[in-house]
């Protein structure tokens, strides 16, 4: 047996062991190893994408990312300290459609490892302490239920008490319909806490990622002292079709993108994810 044949055989044996030990099929393994950009079709190794903060190195398309990844991307290593991470939604209305709401919650918890659609905590950016809430779209589309509102309200009150600047990264489909009016109440609750935070002279940075829609956009997402968005993020209150049917007019193709909103004065900055940590640090220095 030649050296090349031996290496090829050894590679196949190692691959089979990896597939069997991780319960992957070979096709699934290759799909996990290689990622195609949704924007420019650039094919890249998954480690290349991860090392670039899940931003396409060719066209800068921002792939969806988790709250766990954002903690690693933005904050100093080992500085994240979770707050109120034991809160979990219940089913106050006994809601069901195709599936019981309590069953949806159970499935989401198993799939994401989260108890609800937001993580809150304290951390530091280049040594500057901050309080931060990070919404996670993987958990029921980042929808805002009573637990999301409660965790964010407690976070704002915590940051006000300890005089910390506040950052909230938004990624949401809006209020959670399975909790009815209870979810809509969270808009006012978080907003009132932010008012007290502002009255204390503390900074609040709102970061809008794709998508940020519905009741989140209509409340705390748009109340930041500085409102930041990722490039080409979908930011809206109502859907495009609803707006067109209401006003009986066609709207521009780039309507509800961060670039359109920036041009019309709704947001202050558009910052690429790879530069977000450094830009946040420079902004925080203005408030120290």
CATH for 251: 3.90.226.10
Return all residues near 143 (Cβ < 8 A) that are at least 6 apart.
117, 172, 173, 174, 175, 176, 177, 183
At residue 214 the predicted structure's pLDDT band, cuts being 50, 70 and 90, is very high
Which residues span the domain enclosing 130?
Answer: 64-285
For residue 253, being part of any structural domain is answered with yes
248 pLDDT higher than 50: yes
Question: Is 109 contained in some domain?
Answer: yes
Does the pLDDT at position 240 exceed 70?
Answer: yes
Q: Is pLDDT of 105 > 90?
A: yes
Number of domain units in the chain: 1
Question: Is residue 42 one of the residues assigned to a domain?
Answer: no
Specify the pLDDT at position 20. 45
The helix (H) or strand (E) run that includes residue 168 is strand 166-172
Q: Is residue 27 one of the residues assigned to a domain? A: no
* Whole-angstrom distance, CA of residue 119 vs CA of residue 110: 16
- What pLDDT shows up at residue 285? 96
Question: Residues of the chain with pLDDT > 70: what percent?
Answer: 89
Q: What is the pLDDT of residue 288?
A: 80
184 in a domain, yes or no? yes
* pLDDT computed for residue 17 by the predictor: 46
13 inside domain: no
Q: What is the mean pLDDT of residues 161-178?
A: 97
Among 16-20, 162-166, 248-252, name the one with the lowest average pLDDT.
16-20
Rounded to whole angstroms, the Cα distance separating 250 from 263 reads 19
pLDDT at 22: 46
Binding-site residues for Zn(2+): 37, 40, 56, 59
pLDDT bin (cut points 50, 70, 90) of residue 1 is low
Annotated binding site: 37, 40, 56, 59
> Does the pLDDT value for residue 154 go beyond 80?
yes
Q: Average per-residue pLDDT in the chain?
A: 90
Residue of 101, 137, 105 lying closest to 216 (CA atoms): 137
**CA separation for the pair 233, 259 (Å, rounded):** 8
| 28-37, 237-246, 256-265: the lowest-pLDDT one | 28-37
Q: What is the mean pLDDT of residues 75-103?
A: 94
* pLDDT-based confidence at residue 3 (cuts at 50, 70, 90): very low
Mean pLDDT, to the nearest integer, of 128-144? 97
Comparing 23-32, 90-99, 221-230, the range with the smallest average pLDDT is: 23-32
- For residue 29, name the pLDDT band (cuts at 50, 70, 90): very low
Confidence of residue 213 (pLDDT cuts 50, 70, 90): very high
Mean pLDDT for the stretch of residues 118-142 = 97
Q: Give start and end residues of each alpha helix (H) in the chain.
A: 3-21, 26-33, 46-51, 67-74, 101-112, 146-161, 181-199, 214-217, 240-247, 258-263, 276-285
In a domain, 10, yes or no: no
Residue 55 resides in a domain: no
């Amino acid at each position: 047996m030649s050296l090349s044949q031996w290496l090829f055989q050894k590679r196949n044996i190692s691959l089979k062991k990896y597939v069997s030990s991780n319960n992957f099929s070979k096709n699934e393994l290759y799909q996990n190893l290689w990622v195609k950009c949704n924007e420019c079709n650039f094919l890249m190794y998954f480690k290349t994408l991860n090392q670039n903060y899940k931003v396409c190195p060719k066209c800068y398309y921002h792939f969806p990312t988790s709250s766990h990844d954002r903690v690693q991307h933005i904050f100093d290593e080992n500085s994240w300290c979770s707050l109120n991470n034991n809160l979990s939604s219940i089913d106050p209305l006994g809601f069901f459609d195709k599936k019981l709401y309590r069953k949806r919650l159970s499935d989401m918890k198993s799939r994401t490892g989260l108890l609800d659609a937001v993580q809150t905590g304290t951390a530091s950016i280049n040594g500057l302490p901050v309080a931060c809430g990070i919404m996670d779209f993987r958990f029921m589309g980042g929808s805002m239920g009573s637990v999301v509102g409660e965790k964010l309200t407690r976070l704002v009150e915590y940051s006000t008490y300890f005089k910390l600047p506040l950052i909230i990264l938004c990624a949401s489909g809006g209020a959670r319909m399975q909790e009815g009016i209870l979810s809509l109440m969270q808009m006012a609750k978080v907003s009132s806490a932010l008012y007290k935070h502002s009255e204390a002279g503390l900074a609040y940075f709102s970061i809008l990622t794709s998508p940020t829609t519905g009741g989140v956009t209509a409340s705390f997402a748009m109340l930041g002292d500085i409102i930041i968005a990722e490039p080409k993020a979908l930011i809206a209150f109502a859907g495009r079709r609803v707006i067109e049917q209401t006003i009986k007019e066609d709207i521009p193709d780039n309507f509800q993108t961060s670039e359109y909103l920036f041009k019309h004065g709704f947001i202050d900055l558009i910052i690429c994810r790879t530069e977000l940590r450094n830009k946040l640090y420079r902004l925080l220095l203005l408030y120290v």
